[in-house]
Amino acid sequence: MAPEALYDEIQTIAARYPQRLSAVMPALRLAQERYGWLPPDAFREVGEALDLTPAYCKAVASFYDMFHLEPVGRHMIEVCTNVSCALVGAQQVLEAFEGELGVHAGETTEDGEFTLRTIECAGGCGWGTVVSVDHRYREPVKPEDVPAIVEELRNGSE
Partner 1 sequence: MAPSEKALTKLLFADTEGRDLTRLSEYEEVGGYKSLRKALKMKRAKVLDELLAADVRGRGGAGFPMGRKASFLPKPKESAKPIYLVSNADESEPGTFKDREIMARIPHMFIEGVVIASRVIGAKTAFIYIRGEYLTEFEILRDALEEARNAGLVGPDVLGSGWDLTVVVHRGAGAYICGEETALLESLEGKRGQPRSKPPFPAISGVYASPTLINNVETLATVPKILEIGGAEYAKLGVEHSTGTRVFSLSGNVANGGNYEVELGTSLRELVYDIGGGIPGGRELKAIIPGGSSVPVLTADEVDTALDFDSMAARGTMLGSGAVIVMDDRCCMVQLGLRVAQFYMHESCGKCTPCREGTRWMVSILRKIEDGEASQGELDLLLNVCDRILGNCLCPLGDAAAMPVASYVAKFRDEYQRHIDEGGCPFHGDSTLDHVMAPVDQHHARIRAEIEVPA
Which residues contact partner 1 by CB under 8 A? Answer: 16-19, 21-26, 28-29, 34-37, 39, 41, 59-60, 63-67, 70-73, 81-84, 86-91, 94, 104-110, 112, 115, 117-128, 132, 135-137, 139-140
DSSP annotation of 76 reads E
CB of 88 to partner 1, least distance (A): 7
Nearest to partner 1 of 122, 150 (CB atom): 122
Cα distance between residue 28 and residue 47, in whole Å: 10
Least CB distance to partner 1 at residue 158 (A): 18
State the Cα–Cα distance between residues 28 and 32, nearest whole angstrom: 6
Query: Smallest distance, Å, CB 151 to partner 1?
Result: 21
Partners of 77 in beta bridges: 116, 133
Could you tell me the sign of the dihedral formed by the alpha carbons of 129, 29, 102, 120, in that order? negative
Q: How far is the CB of 47 from partner 1 (least distance, A)?
A: 12
Hey, how many other C-beta atoms are within 10 angstroms of the C-beta on 158? Answer: 4
Kindly tell me which of 139 and 145 has the beta carbon lying closer to partner 1: 139
